Amino acid sequence: MAARFWVGGSGTWNNSSTANWSATSGGAPGASAPTTADTVTFDANSGTAATVTVDSTAVTSTTTVDKSDITLILSGNATLSTTGAFTLSQGTLNLNSNTLTVFRFSSSTANNRTIAFGANGKILLTGTNILAWNTTSTPSTLTVSGSRNIEMTTAATTGTRQFAGGNVGESKAWNLSVTAGTDTILIQNHINNLDLTGFAGIYANDDRTFYGNVIFVAGVTYSAGSTSTKFSATTGTQLLTTNGTTQDYPITKDGAGTLQLQDNLTMGSTRTFTLTAGTLDLNNQTLSTGIFSSSNSNTRSIAFGTGNITVTGNAATVWTTSTVTNFSYTGTPTVNFTYAGGTGTRTITTGALSEAQTININVSAGSDIVNNIASVKNLNFTGFTGTWNHNATTTAYVNVTLVSGMSNSGTGILFFGSANSAQQFTTAGLTLDFPISVGSNLSAPILQFQDALTMGATRAFTLAGGTVELKAGVTSTVGSFVATSPRPRTLRSTLAGTQATLSQASGTVDANQLTIQDINAVGGATFNAFVNQQNVDAGNNDGWDFGISPIVGSYEYTYQLRSFTQPRRF
């Protein structure tokens, strides 16, 4: 092995010229051109503002560029191969759309240095069981342009190839392909595109941020870990292809750009997908994650299309959108909770979503406890045999489907509040020991019961706005029926001409502004629907008093007496 130093300033590097080669730093020229056994150095004695042009196939054992005003450029179809390390300490490496082949590459200093790839330039890394790429130190002093293409090409079978890209930022992040090998690769820091096509080894978990497209392939072992992978493009669309693999680590979507799934994304049952900013485009695919979190005030959205999010975690807050500011979605917003065991409590924290923001929730398995669903579009428990712990208000904007075999607890109100659509409620014969309320001054839904309603003896059913249709031909039992409101409402049967039965065991029901049709009131309570309280008997009703109410509170009524010419006031 011999040492070769560049001297004499600008010149041409080829296989034959000796004009710029010396055996010592700053020494006399005339040494032979480097071979694969020789080390090559460009240093302070290589000349001022020197441009070194590689015009053929150049080879070395190691190459070091360590001078701020020196430029090493590959011209034409030239190639440069280093069997050992290529170190860019300072200065410029200009690939000019050509290929540099090295065992390992290092540019980890605080000095100003530049790598110009050109449109199609490429660096091939042939090293095995080594830190094959290192640009971790002071990325702000590293300038990168062009393709930024890097390939790890060796069919290694043992050891770990490490790629430490450094926190270089979106504009400098590397395009990395791993095209061969059955060893372990450890990829760290900032990457633009990643393509593992051709690799069949172990993909180790570590801290990494992607700004471009990612292609995972079958046949690779993807290591589990707790370190998050981030998708952070600030503009444009990142494409993620998983090819049926499981990514068992946390994933965060931040940055204002879009992450678009190209196929189903499956994560581990203890891992969290976090949507911090930008758009998650499911592209009609399924995202399967242990936990989903998107709770902040950044602008963020989910494009469901016909896709869905499947949440597999348990014994945790498995869904949180508790802060819903600037959150939106498109498509059909379906979220499936599929944990099939009986351990712990699944907390679903939706936050106070508006009707336009709410999602469809399907709890399709499990015998555990589910709680804290604050707002929902459709809520369906088909397949669930556990307990719905209902201690806070749940606002439903479309349908609620309960099932036999499940149970409920808690005293939170179930509120039906759609301003736009009919709503259906299936109780499956359960006794619901919590209050139920329908409508408000701002909403007037039509709530249609699909079967009998049975409520706890102390629980109130409040009709504050809209229309309630009790199931025809069956008895619905409430603790108390509250039907006072400053707006008109309707209580009727689901089938015109066929009565539904409303049962309340005791007390008095005082209705106002209520139109009643096909309702049989029974059970021992007094049911007042006085016409002077603007109630309407629309026909086929029993058990209601539609007469004239006595004076109550501040109400004052005028009667015309036959024996006087002037009305008297009482």
- Residues 106-115: what's their mean pLDDT? 97
> 């075999």: which residue's tokens?
405
pLDDT in tens, 490-534: 999 999 999 999 999 999 999 999 999 999 999 999 999 999 999
The three state secondary structure string of 450-485 is CCCCEECCCCEEEECCEEEEECCCCEEEECEEECCC
- Residues 250-260: what's their mean pLDDT? 98
Whole-angstrom distance, CA of residue 195 vs CA of residue 180 = 11
CB 106: neighbour CB atoms within 10 A? Answer: 20
Mean pLDDT computed over every residue of the chain: 95
pLDDT in tens, 389-398: 988 999 999 9
Greater confidence, 403 or 353? Answer: 403
* pLDDT at position 120 over 50: yes
* pLDDT at position 568 over 70: no
Distance set, CA 393 to CA 73, 127, 436, 466 (Å): 69, 60, 10, 19
Query: Distance between terminal CA atoms of the chain?
Result: 121
* pLDDT at position 259 over 70: yes
| Range 408-412 contact pairs with CB under 8 angstroms and sequence separation of 24 or more | 408/432, 408/433, 408/434, 409/433, 410/371, 410/434, 411/435
Q: Is residue 271 part of a domain?
A: no
pTM of the model: 0.92
pLDDT of residue 44: 97
| Range 198-207 contact pairs with CB under 8 angstroms and sequence separation of 24 or more | 201/156, 204/160, 205/249
Beta strand ranges found along 165-269 (DSSP E): 174-178, 184-195, 202-203, 208-210, 214-215, 221-222, 229-231, 237-241, 246-247, 251-253, 258-261, 265-267
Q: 277, 254 in Cβ contact below 8 A?
A: yes
- Residues 444-450: what's their mean pLDDT? 96
Three-class SS state of 533: helix
* pLDDT at position 13 over 80: yes
* pLDDT at position 167 over 60: yes
Into how many domains does the chain fold? 1
pLDDT of residue 251: 98
Q: Is residue 50 part of a domain?
A: yes
| C-alpha 114: how far from chain center | 37
Q: What's the domain range around 73?
A: 1-91
Q: Is residue 414 part of a domain?
A: no
Amino acid (one-letter) located at 398 = V
Tokens, residue 335:
């979220």
- Residues 127-156: what's their mean pLDDT? 97
Segments in 101-192 forming alpha helices (H): none
Share of the chain above pLDDT 70, in %: 96
Amino acid (one-letter) located at 518 = D
Q: 186, 163 in Cβ contact below 8 A?
A: yes
Tokens, residue 427:
């109780």
Give residue 566's pLDDT band: very low, low, confident or very high (50, 70, 90). Answer: very low
Whole-angstrom distance, CA of residue 476 vs CA of residue 492 = 12
Three-class SS state of 160: strand
Q: Is residue 356 part of a domain?
A: no
- Residues 48-67: what's their mean pLDDT? 96
pLDDT of residue 551: 54
Give residue 136's pLDDT band: very low, low, confident or very high (50, 70, 90). Answer: very high
Q: 277, 257 in Cβ contact below 8 A?
A: no
Q: Is residue 35 part of a domain?
A: yes
pLDDT in tens, 199-254: 999 999 999 999 999 999 999 999 999 999 999 999 999 999 999 999 999 999 99
Q: What is the H or E stretch that residue 147 is in?
A: none
Q: What would the DSSP string read from start to end of 243-295? A: TT-EE-S-EEE-SSSEEEESS-EEE-TT-EEEE-SEEEE-TT-EEEESEEE--
Backbone angles phi, psi at 532, to 5 degrees: -75, 0
Segments in 286-435 forming alpha helices (H): none
Q: Is residue 1 part of a domain?
A: yes
- Residues 23-28: what's their mean pLDDT? 98
pLDDT in tens, 290-326: 999 999 999 999 999 999 999 999 999 999 999 999 9
